[in-house]
């Protein structure tokens, strides 16, 4: 399936269990693979990106098996990874690349990481610079991209690092090097980014990490104990249905067991601010992460202005904010979101280009966009393109639910990266 046609929906109803969180799935494979013993991961996200992480550790000698959405890891521990026989293929996954590089920079063997066309354009100096400050030897191309060469066998030492960009991937990369260094590392994050790596490190190795406000201190060479992990549903996947439920008239849906870690719930805050009817029920702890059922009903939306500190808490949902803006009764503005230019596609450009094709009055800014939702859309909708970006494909599919004419989206198979069952789940809500 490369293209899909999506038509207007007459209300979405029913409930869905959202597949496991992508960040937490990656992290659980990484920590399971460096902890001696058996780690069991329930509700693992079996998407292309997370399967890349599993494959990389299998190539380094870790025994990993899966049955349905359960993954079982049997590892000898962090000192027993071995050199892969070939280059490691990172596919489309920035998270796999950046986290594994941190870990492998402290290992005694050399590795080369390669990726697909999109990943090969994404910036990697943001990790090689701090890792090399720790004594690692990580080399990017002159443009700062993949292939990445990691010269192992270096003695790492701790650093004090103030994060220049709010990036959980960079922070996690440093943490995974820091656990192998000779001295402690302090990371300061002026703006908070998602903290799944810190929570999971604490679970596998409670003495390795302490947080004090904006500072994180990593104490190296602590014991790691294998674990059982229950991954909550991915709020970044639930987000498509949260927005669909809000904008498709006569809808009421329930998204079950979704992770609501406060470093990820920016979209809920923004939707509430815009007047959406969205509620959390059954709030509970799923492992070391909060989770809840999210109930959304259609409602009238008002414009908003989002910027700065909230962006990391909805970083992958910004294209959806543009769509919400296109359904609000006024002008919505997003600024401070320049990081979107460095994702699977340049998401400020691709969101603008594709929503303009649907007739939305949206203008790209250097660090965001402005959307005038008060104007009706005049859709020309047979040539939309995801630009091979899963998040753009799914945002356009949600926009299609309220378009006048059926919409054709090319390269829709990119959904395999984070949400392989997205179209099936959408059908379930349409058929209720
Ligand atoms: O740590 C993670 O799992 C992720 C962090 C974010 O990237 P950055 O850290 O580059 O902002 C996000 O966009 C990505 O989808 C997943
Ligand atoms: C940016 C994303 O992922 P990654 O950086 O892991 O490729 C994403 O899932 O939207």
| Ligand 2 environment, Cβ below 6 A | 49, 93-95, 316, 343-344, 391, 418
**68 contact partners, CB below 8 Å, separation of at least 6:** none
As a whole number of angstroms, the distance between CA 25 and CA 44 comes to 6
Mutational test site, ligand 2, from 94, 235, 267, max ligand atoms within 8 Å of CB: 94
pLDDT confidence band for 250 (50 / 70 / 90):
very high
Other beta carbons within 10 Å of 207: 10
Domain boundaries in the chain?
A: 4-19+232-431, 79-230
Backbone angles phi, psi at 331, to 5 degrees: -100, 120
Tokens standing for residue 229: 């992990």
pLDDT tens for 255-313 read 999 999 999 999 999 999 999 999 999 999 988 999 999 999 999 999 999 998 999 99
Mean pLDDT of the region 192-196: 98
Mean pLDDT of the region 353-357: 97
Mean pLDDT of the region 29-39: 98
Determine the distance separating the centroid of ligand 1 and the alpha carbon of 192, expressed in angstroms.
Answer: 12
Tokens standing for residue 146: 């993949």
> What ipTM was assigned to the predicted interfaces of this complex?
0.99
Mean pLDDT of the region 166-179: 98
Annotated binding site for 3-phosphoshikimate: 22-23, 167, 169, 316, 343
Determine the distance separating the centroid of ligand 2 and the alpha carbon of 337, expressed in angstroms.
Answer: 15
| 79-230 and 4-19+232-431 share a CATH fold | yes
Q: E strands of 335-383, at which residues?
A: 361-365, 368-372
Determine the distance separating the centroid of ligand 1 and the alpha carbon of 167, expressed in angstroms.
Answer: 6
Mutational test site, ligand 2, from 49, 340, 420, max ligand atoms within 8 Å of CB: 49
pLDDT above 70 for 396: yes
- Residue 28, ligand 1, Cβ within 6 A: no
pLDDT confidence band for 381 (50 / 70 / 90):
confident
Put simply, whether the predicted model's pTM sits higher than 0.90 gets the answer yes
As a whole number of angstroms, the distance between CA 300 and CA 316 comes to 24
Tell me which residue has its CA closest to atom 5 in ligand 2.
Answer: 94
Is 79-230 CATH 3.40.50.970? no
Give the N- to C-terminal CA distance of the chain in Å, as an integer.
Answer: 24
Pick the CATH number of 4-19+232-431 from 1.10.357.10, 3.40.50.300, 3.65.10.10, 3.40.190.10: 3.65.10.10
Determine the distance separating the centroid of ligand 1 and the alpha carbon of 95, expressed in angstroms.
Answer: 6
The catalytic residues are: 316
pLDDT confidence band for 1 (50 / 70 / 90):
low
pLDDT tens for 114-127 read 999 999 999 999 99
């Amino acid at each position: 399936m490369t293209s899909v046609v999506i038509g207007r929906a007459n209300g979405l109803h029913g409930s869905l269990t959202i597949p496991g969180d992508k960040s937490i799935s990656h992290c659980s494979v990484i920590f399971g693979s460096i902890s001696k013993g058996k780690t069991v991961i329930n509700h693992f996200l079996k998407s292309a990106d997370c399967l890349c992480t599993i494959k990389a550790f299998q190539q380094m000698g870790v025994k990993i098996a899966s049955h349905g959405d359960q993954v079982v890891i049997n590892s000898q521990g962090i000192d027993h990874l071995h050199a892969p026989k070939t280059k490691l293929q990172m596919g489309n996954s920035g998270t796999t690349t950046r986290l594994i590089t941190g870990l492998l920079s402290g290992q005694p063997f050399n590795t080369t990481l390669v990726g697909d066309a999109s990943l090969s354009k994404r910036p990697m100096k943001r990790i090689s610079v701090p890792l090399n400050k720790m004594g690692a030897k990580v080399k990017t191309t002159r443009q700062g991209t993949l292939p990445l060469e990691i010269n192992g066998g270096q003695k790492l030492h701790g650093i004090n690092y103030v994060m220049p960009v709010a990036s959980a991937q960079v922070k996690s990369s440093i943490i995974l090097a820091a656990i192998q260094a000779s001295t402690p590392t302090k990371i300061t994050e002026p703006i908070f980014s998602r903290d799944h790596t810190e929570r999971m490190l604490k679970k596998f190795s409670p003495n390795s990490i302490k947080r004090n406000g904006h500072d994180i201190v990593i104490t190296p060479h602590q014991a790691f104990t294998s674990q059982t992990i229950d991954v909550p549903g991915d709020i970044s996947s639930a987000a498509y249905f949260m927005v669909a439920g809000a904008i498709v008239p006569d809808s009421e849906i329930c998204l079950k067991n979704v992770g609501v870690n406060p470093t990820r719930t920016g979209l809920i805050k923004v939707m509430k601010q815009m007047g959406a009817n969205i509620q959390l029920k059954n709030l509970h702890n799923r492992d070391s992460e909060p989770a809840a059922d999210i109930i959304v009903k259609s409602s009238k939306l008002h414009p908003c202005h989002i910027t700065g500190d909230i962006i990391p808490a909805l970083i992958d949902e910004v294209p959806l904010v543009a769509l919400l803006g296109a359904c609000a009764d006024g002008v919505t503005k997003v600024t401070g979101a320049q990081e979107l230019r460095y994702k699977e596609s340049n998401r400020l450009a691709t969101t603008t280009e594709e929503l303009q094709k649907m007739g939305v009055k949206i203008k790209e800014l250097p660090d965001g966009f402005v959307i005038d939702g008060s104007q009706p859309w005049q859709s020309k909708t047979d040539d939309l393109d995801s630009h091979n970006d899963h998040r753009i494909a799914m945002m356009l599919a949600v926009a299609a639910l309220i378009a006048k004419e059926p919409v054709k989206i090319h390269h829709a198979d990119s959904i395999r990266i984070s949400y392989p069952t997205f179209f099936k789940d959408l059908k379930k809500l349409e058929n209720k």
